[in-house]
Chain A
Amino acid sequence: AQSVTQLGSHVSVSEGALVLLRCNYSSSVPPYLFWYVQYPNQGLQLLLKYTTGATLVKGINGFEAEFKKSETSFHLTKPSAHMSDAAEYFCAVSEFDNNDMRFGAGTRLTVKP
């Protein structure tokens, strides 16, 4: 079965600094990969997803992620952090032939003024 590991349960950056949230996956078949964001006391919101095609995926709010098969990674980045980016971020993987989606444990992003 597929699985996801998010490195770092808590990441802190300064406003304007680069955001890098790490995600590695394990899958026996080509994966579908997702990043979700959860703001305090709110539900999950899809940031971006990779299914097939271009490996660099652009999402909402200036985030992007690159699928690297050789590294089994799908790290999330944003060139310049905003205070409003403070939230919990979840990486998830599913396989093309089933509905089972596996989530990472989440990374809490803190943005300092």
Chain B
Amino acid sequence: DTAVSQTPKYLVTQMGNDKSIKCEQNLGHDTMYWYKQDSKKFLKIMFSYNNKELIINETVPNRFSPKSPDKAHLNLHINSLELGDSAVYFCASSRRLAGGQETQYFGPGTRLLVL
């Protein structure tokens, strides 16, 4: 059973288009995240959602917007795609415990290529 799943696995699109990446977790976690991994493999957190509230938002362009219809899903919508948006995007989830944070579990990644 897949714990954290992302769709699509690969996404090739033209500059200026709008696209969405979906993420679903079946772990019962209450917090979900989006990370961007650049060409140098460096991971940077973009967003996290806890109980439908955005609690972390790094300096990410407002063309990127996370949408969480429920606790099990956190989709990433990107408007007006730019060449620099080409990267691998990872979704993750975790459970917030009274004593701290539980381990984050990662999805397989979505490889976005903007032409």
Contacts and interface: CB of A to CB of B under 8 A. Distances in A.
Contacts of B31: 99
A42 interface: yes
Given A98-B101, A99-B33, A101-B101, 4 more contacts: A42-B109, A46-B105, A99-B31, A106-B40
B90 A44 contact: yes
A94 interface: yes
Interface of B: 31, 33, 35, 40-45, 48, 50, 55-56, 90, 94, 96, 99-101, 103-109
> Which secondary structure characterizes the binding site on chain B?
strand
A105 B40 contact: yes
A105 B42 contact: yes
A32 B100 contact: yes
A49 B94 CA distance: 14
Contacts of A38: 41
Interface in A24-64: 32, 34, 36, 38, 42-46, 49, 51
Interface of A: 32, 34, 36, 38, 42-46, 49, 51, 88, 90, 94-103, 105-106, 108
A100 B47 CA distance: 9
A43 B108 contact: yes
A46 B104 CA distance: 9
Contact of A99 (B48, B90, B107, B108): B48
A2 to B, nearest CB: 12
A68 to B, nearest CB: 20
A108 B40 CA distance: 11
A44 B99 CA distance: 25
B25 to A, nearest CB: 13
A88 B31 CA distance: 26
A46 B3 CA distance: 13
B93 to A, nearest CB: 10
Contacts of A95: 101
